[in-house]
Amino acid sequence: FRRVLFRSIVLIDKARRSGERLRDIAGIQVVLDQVGSVQNITLARLARSRRVVYVEGDHDFSYIVHFARVAGLLELADGTELTPIPTGGFSNWQRIRNVAWGINQALGTPLRILVVLDRDYRCDEETAEVETELLRHVESVHIHGMKEIENYLLDVTVIHRAITRQLYEEEKGTPPSLDEVSSIMQGIAESMRTSAQSQYIAKRVAYFRGSHKDDASVTAEAMRIFEEHWKSPEQRLALISGKEALKQLRQEVQARYGVTLSDRRIISLFWKNGLHPDILRLLKLLEDFRASGPVVRQN
């Protein structure tokens, strides 16, 4: 019993009188396909790469791949040497970690694991704690400096370039000025201010609840920090929801100029030296992870 428990994955089906010990990748893949999207892993690919990148959403890794192409990291952009797995959020980490452990045992060699997390509205103290906890179980962790990966697309200069290029290609009208695009972006940010502020305060209060700080003091502190960040137009675009901001931007651009901006088009018009430092750090971390040597099993 102990050997089966610690060295194998056993399928338990209430319709059967006994469990089934899974002995190969094909069998494990069938089970994982039944578990659902969070564990929807292509094990044949995982068996080759032995490198897992946990990301929060289904599309996060595609953003990373497109940014890697802009940076000239073509092997990373190819994406075949890493196996991305969407976590659906940090709250699912415990369950996903256990599944990864089981796959590790079934494949017979250790996996290398790197985690990429959205910051959401977490304060610096909480992100530091999350990173420390994760590093007890995985090789590397990257937590975005902005709310989520989509926020890195909210570059006014690049969006202006994208609108101009789209209008030129579709032979539609006069392109807006950079100031006009900046005004659109700041208007979107301002419309989302109350939501972002309330979420930031709520997250900080929840994190410090039970500490020596009372809720009133934590709320006042959170408001002060938020207002300090909000003074900077660039920081505003880091605090709001990037997904929602891009949605509103597309609607506004369509209404004003009659063109559609895709996320892929926006990323493709970044220049390498214009990528945000956070993205460059993430790409370097992933490239080093991709190119690192084989895993050595610890006895």
What is residue 5's predicted lDDT score, i.e. its pLDDT? Answer: 40
Cβ-proximal residues to 34 (8 Å cutoff; 6+ apart), any chain: none
Q: Which of 196, 219, 195 is nearest to 207 (CA)?
A: 219
Quick one: pLDDT at residue 6? 40
To which residue do tokens 């789209």 refer?
Answer: 166
pLDDT attached to residue 180: 97
Burial 186-201 (b: 16+ CB within 10 A, else e): eebbeebeeebbebbb
DSSP class of 51: E
Region for residue 253 given its phi and psi (left: phi exceeds 0; alpha: psi -120 to 50; beta: otherwise): alpha
Contact present, 176 and 252 (Cβ < 8 Å): no
Phi-psi category of 83—alpha, beta or left, where left has phi over 0 and alpha has psi -120 to 50? beta
Block means of pLDDT (10 residues each) for the chain, length 299 residues?
Answer: 46 68 57 48 65 87 96 92 79 61 63 88 91 84 95 97 94 93 97 97 93 91 96 95 97 94 95 96 96 58
- Which of 102, 85, 83, 61 minimizes the C-alpha distance to 290? 83
Give the three-class secondary structure for 273.
Answer: helix
How many other β-carbons are positioned within 10 Å of the β-carbon of residue 260?
11
Please give the pLDDT value at position 188. Answer: 98
Between vectors from CA 148 to CA 143 and to CA 150, what angle results, nearest 5°? 135
Q: What pLDDT score does 285 carry?
A: 97
**H or E element, residue 174:** none
**pTM of the shown model:** 0.82
Rounded distance between C-alpha atoms, residue 66 and residue 79, angstroms: 10
Instruction: Please give the C-alpha separations between residue 54 and each of 20, 117, 158, in angstroms, as whole numbers.
Output: 28, 8, 28
